[in-house]
Structure 1
Amino acid sequence: MNKKELRPNIPSAKVDDTMSTEEQFQNLVIRPIIKLQHNTIIALFDNYLEHSDFDIHKFDTLKKLEFLKTVASRNQHLRNQYVGIIIGMFTDEEFAVYLTNMGEYSKRIMQIISQRIQDTY
């Protein structure tokens, strides 16, 4: 089985000619991989919380939301782990595309992961 066969189908992840190359790559490659890796993404965040001084259950709703929005982007080690979890599921061709605009694709990866974390907690 190849990596592409593992990915779930996301009917809402449509692609058309009006979208940028980055948006098409996001919808066709990044979003399905993030959906596939959801449990790993959440487990990694649970592990981070377990080993940190933060008890998000004691935060009020607003503080909790703000914390969840910023923690993954501010913690470089956590950010690198998340990006690694996703790019490890790329094919060789997809990785070559990722390298053409690594900063933009990594930013998109972290935005989607951040939203998933917020939605989960």
Structure 2
Amino acid sequence: MNNEERQMPERPVVDTQPTAVSVAEQFQNQTLRPVLKLLDASLMTYWLHHLPKRKTPFDRFSRPEKLAHIERAIREDTKLRLTLVGMVLGQFTPAEWSTFKANEAELTRRLLALLIQRLQSHVDS
């Protein structure tokens, strides 16, 4: 079975403004957001699996502390960051991968911001 025959799960549709100007913004809206929405449960499962390994008393943190911890962990913990980014990159088609490589620095920055937002959205009020 070659890569083109492999069945990928259908990506959810994400409502975004159709007036994206840059390639990075278009890629963010057409690829990154739908992939992150598709992987939401998997990303959250990995995050929850990660916490006990770091002996983090996350459930005892206040909401602002939880939000700050998520951002800090993704930015500073290389293994966590690379695993989460790898989960997303693994969903790319060959054409999406080409676009990502051509704009890697900007798209990685956007991807990390979206990952942080996605995990923070699960923090209770």
Q: TM (normalized to structure 1)?
A: 0.89
SS at match of 1:6: coil
| 1:112 positional shift | 0.7
Aligned residues: 118
Q: How does 1:1-121 map to 2 (within 5 A)?
A: 2-3=7-8, 6-10=10-14, 12-16=15-19, 19-121=21-123
Unaligned segments of structure 1, at least 5 residues: none
Q: Among all aligned residue pairs of Structure 1 and Structure 2, give the percentage whose two residues are the same amino acid.
A: 25
Is the 1:15–1:28 Cα contact (8 Å) retained in structure 2?
Answer: no
Q: TM (normalized to structure 2)?
A: 0.86
Question: What's the Cα RMSD here?
Answer: 1.5
Identify, as 1 or 2, the structure richer in helix. 1
| 1:2 positional shift | 4.5
SS at match of 2:121: helix
Is the 1:34–1:86 Cα contact (8 Å) retained in structure 2?
Answer: yes
Unaligned segments of structure 2, at least 5 residues: 1-5
Detail structure 1 runs of 4+ shifted over 4 Å in the superposition.
Answer: none
| 1:98 positional shift | 0.4
Looking at structure 2, the residues matched to 104 and 113 of structure 1 have their Cα atoms a distance apart, in angstroms, of 14
